[in-house]
Amino acid sequence: MTKKLILIAMSGVRIVDPELRALGMTLPGFIERGKVIASMPSLGLLTIAGATPDSWQIKYREVDELQPEILPKIIAEAPDLVAISSLSARIEDAYQIADTLRQAKIPVVMGGLHASVLPAEVSAHCDAVVLGQGEWVWPDLLRDLESGHLKPQYSGMHAPNALESTPLPRFDLLEVARYNRIPMQTTRGCPLDCIFCAASRLISPYKLKSLDRIRDELNAIQSIWPDPFIELADDNTFRNKGWSRDLVNLLSEYPTMRWFTETDLSLADDEALLESLTRSGCAQVLIGFESVQEDSLQDTDTRSWKRKRLAEYREKIQRIQSAGISVNGCFIFGFDADTEETFDRTWEFIQKSDLSEVQLTLLTPFPGTELYRKLRAENRLLEDRFWSKCTLFDVVFHPKYFSPERLSERFREMVSLVYSPEATQKRASLRTKIYRSKVSKS
């Protein structure tokens, strides 16, 4: 008999600080990127769907807001299993959903980064927790459920399995018209080790996917969306330069495809890779510069990889943008060495470097990170359980040289400057110029 599985992705993240939220509404440039991220489907759940036998009928749902009609609708479908994936910022909403479904005798499984690092907390709200890379334990979990022997925990943490052995994500479950960006993973993990990073090493060592397998996924996506915009759901795509050149050449074989990814500044050092990028559909790369202040970068990664490159930041941005690739530069505020002056210096850097896109966030100690352990040990967390404020835009700890209120205030001022209509317009014009130079070179 066919069984029913409902996959629930907790999408959308709300800034808690009411003043920043109100400000964001007046600064379209600020909410743009948040909207882009929220508009992407959950690759983890689509991959889990790919690992589900044909004897299951699968539905994929996004829960952006907890509207009252959502739960009765899910209960009325009488699923045999609901699987929920949530980041920390939406985990309290996820718990409400899970608790209500379990009261209705519907088994619930939870996974995602938060569940992977706090399985004991999560297990109080579900029948089983999936840790780490769930696709490799999912078939066992379903078999156990069907035989009435579901275990409380299944772990795919640090599973050594090759990336190409993951099942093909079930993109066909998505409403085609709803999505304009499709996620695809080509690497997992990152060899750098920034202390605030929740993604780089927690669940998997650094892995590359084979190009043959990437081609299969691109073909699957293009059979549904002929002109897709692909967002590579990688932590740091271009670490391995030889493989990256081959990857970009492969992506260039799809002329109607445009794409975006995250990487680091070493991209600027590889002429051949830059040339391939110019010819490809790459629209933008996102690079975490984190800070323009040397002593703030001191604490970023243990090998000070970023600090050692600070002096080259501007020149390398120029080099990448001259190749026709827009750079989205990310800066974080709240490092222990940050002072009032850090904000002024960052604004000056942003203007002088001619970055064509900018992302600002507050330092956030996500559970499981080195930063979380440090701040907790130093008794600097404002609340024990602050998951809903893990938005990247809310202050959740005592900064060193600011009160939490003053850091929020300076951050709002910075947001007002960087996302003012004039600054946003200037960056938009710059992106157009960069794009035109790319077209003329390719």
Residues at the site binding ligand SF4, with contacts judged by CB under 6 A: 190, 192-194, 197, 199-200, 235-236, 264, 288
Closest CB 247 distance from ligand SF4, rounded Å: 17
Contacts of 250 (CB under 8 A, 6+ apart): 211, 214, 215, 218
Distance CA 83, CA 107 (A): 9
d(CA 169, CA 7): 13
Q: For ligand SF4, which is the closer residue by CB, 116 or 200?
A: 200
CA distance 196 to 392: 11
Residue 93 or 264: the one with the smaller Cβ distance to ligand SF4 is 264
293 C-beta neighbours (distance < 10 Å), count = 19
Closest approach of ligand SF4 to the CB of residue 116, in Å = 16
Give me the sign of the Cα torsion angle 247, 40, 20, 121. negative
Report, in Å, the least distance between residue 196 CB and ligand SF4: 7
Residues 6 or more apart in contact with residue 102 via CB below 8 angstroms: 108, 125, 126, 127
Q: Residue 374 Cβ, how far from ligand SF4 at the closest point, in Å?
A: 16
CB of 312 to ligand SF4, least distance (A): 16
Instruction: Identify which of residues 150 and 337 has a Cβ nearer to ligand SF4 in the complex.
Output: 337
Segment (H or E) for 81: strand 81-85
State how far the Cα of 57 lies from the Cα of 80, in Å rounded to an integer: 10
Q: Taking the CB of residue 280, how many other CB atoms lie within 10 A of it?
A: 24
DSSP secondary structure string for all residues of 233-248: --SSTTSSHHHHHHHH
Closest CB to ligand SF4 among 129 and 285? 285
Which is nearer to ligand SF4, 197 or 434 (by Cβ)? Answer: 197
Q: Of the two residues 135 and 264, which places its CB atom closer to ligand SF4 in the complex?
A: 264
Distances from the Cα of 3 to the Cα of 47, 53, 78, 123, 146, angstroms = 18, 10, 10, 24, 10
Q: Minimum CB separation from ligand SF4 for residue 351, in Å?
A: 24
Rounded to whole angstroms, how far apart are CA atoms 117 and 115? 6
Q: What is the dihedral of CA 414, 416, 419, 420, to 10 degrees?
A: -140
Strand, coil or helix: what is 113? Answer: helix
Rounded to the nearest whole angstrom, what is the least distance from the CB of residue 277 to ligand SF4 in the complex? 19
- Residues 221, 223: Cα–Cα separation, whole Å: 5
Query: Which residue number, 84 or 190, has a Cβ lying nearer to ligand SF4?
Result: 190
Q: How far apart are CA 60 and CA 42, in angstroms?
A: 9
Residues 342 and 392: their CA atoms lie apart, in Å, by: 18
**Least separation in angstroms between CB 40 and ligand SF4:** 17
| Of residues 108 and 198, the one with the C-beta less far from ligand SF4 | 198
Least CB distance to ligand SF4 at residue 81 (A) = 32
CA dihedral of residues 393, 396, 90, 178 (deg, nearest 10)? 10
Minimum separation from the CB atom of position 288 to ligand SF4 (A) = 5
Nearest residue (CB) to ligand SF4, 40 versus 168: 40
Smaller CB distance to ligand SF4: residue 85 or 187?
Answer: 187
